[in-house]
Structure 1
Amino acid sequence: MSGVDAPAKQATATLPVFYAYLRNSFSPYDFSVQLCSGAACAVLLSGKKWRRARIQKFSKGDSVLVDLVDKGTENIISICNLRPLFKVFGRLPPLAMRCRMKDVNMNDLAAAKVNDFQKLISSFGGLVRVELADVSTVPFLVNLYHPTVEGRNLGLSFYCPNEQAGENARRRRWEEKLARMEGNFASDENSDERSSDELSSLPNFVLHLERYSFL
């Protein structure tokens, strides 16, 4: 590492550039002793790209299952392509979360529906609204909604009949709640207007009595 400053001293330090200098700085034995399941690390992908990861478990031989925290995917990596993750590269939180759609069984998906869904997402420029439905397990369970149309669940075509009926019922409840909120807001405005009109029509001595009673 002679001639290479520590990461904290490099204003423009990047993970790929920095780890390129450390290709042979750690032996597989030293690395395996230092890290364990759940530990943060840097992994070399395709022999040229360094990425942040978290160790899921050690497999047989010299393979390790890792979670690529900035891509939201898992990968099996040879232990010789792992390095400790320095703090300067661990300050940012993970840039991706592993998720799957709630109430959707991947084994039941037809290719035609998947293709239609991909085209639908592409038509939004790949941008949708995501609702975290359950974070007690990994991957997280989510609902995907139209980016601009309130309450439009993009996963309806994947649901079984019973699940789709439940989703439709939940959407109706949400719309009814919005309607009630709008109705209450309108009632409050009308109430304020009536109160103002009623007060202005009362005799002066009544207004004085009412003010006196609150003192």
Structure 2
Amino acid sequence: MRILLVEDNLDLAHAVVQHLRRGGNAVDHEADGLSACRFLEHERYDLVLLDIGLPRMDGLSLLAELRRRGDATPVLMLTERSDIEDRISALDVGADDYIGKPFDFRELSARCRALTRRRQAQTSALVRIGPMTMDNAARRVRFHNRTIDLPNREYSLLEILVGRLGQVVSKNEITNRLFALSEEAGSNTVELYVARLRKKLPRDFLRIVTVRGTGYLAETTHGNGMAHD
């Protein structure tokens, strides 16, 4: 998941970024509303975490501007727990959800996952492709009765490819969704993660095909479809 955090409390922002990155997400950070507004004119994210009390442009004004220009990116507002008026205003302006400060990082992660599932019209975190099951909440893969252990970044890569099963996903898109702009991702980094993932997947069922000069394509060898529970 590619996430933009807009938060001016640098200590909190650092903690949130580190937590979400440990979960396999690509997370960027902006500390003021105006910079974030300009940044979002040319960058696309799966989710925006948006504080209300921001310098130069407050969170509600930024959200209103995003919706005015047709940006439907899911937005999770960070609000003060006691301020019900801010929560109501955020929802009225176009926020998809809110979480009150101080918050538990586990709840934050769960709300992020729920919003991205909602955008993909999924009703559950469980995805089945024939005998393979992906539990996106637990970030666990099972093939028949065997668990396939994947580090978070490899799991995120599998999510990206399986989400477009049978379609080519460009290397540039994978890079953008796996790594934050502040992270060093060399030209061979994606190839390295693809190679690691290939070694762990059941090759007689799911293949990752390299499309030269374009990207990668995940396909099943037996024509099994994908289902959500």
Alignment TM class, shorter chain as reference: under 0.3
Q: Which has the higher helix share?
A: 1
| TM-score of the superposed pair, with normalisation by structure 1 | 0.21
Structure with the greater alpha carbon radius of gyration: 1
Q: Which has the higher strand share?
A: 2
Which has the higher relative contact order, 1 or 2, with Cα contacts under 8 A spaced 6 or more apart? 2
| TM-score of the superposed pair, with normalisation by structure 2 | 0.20
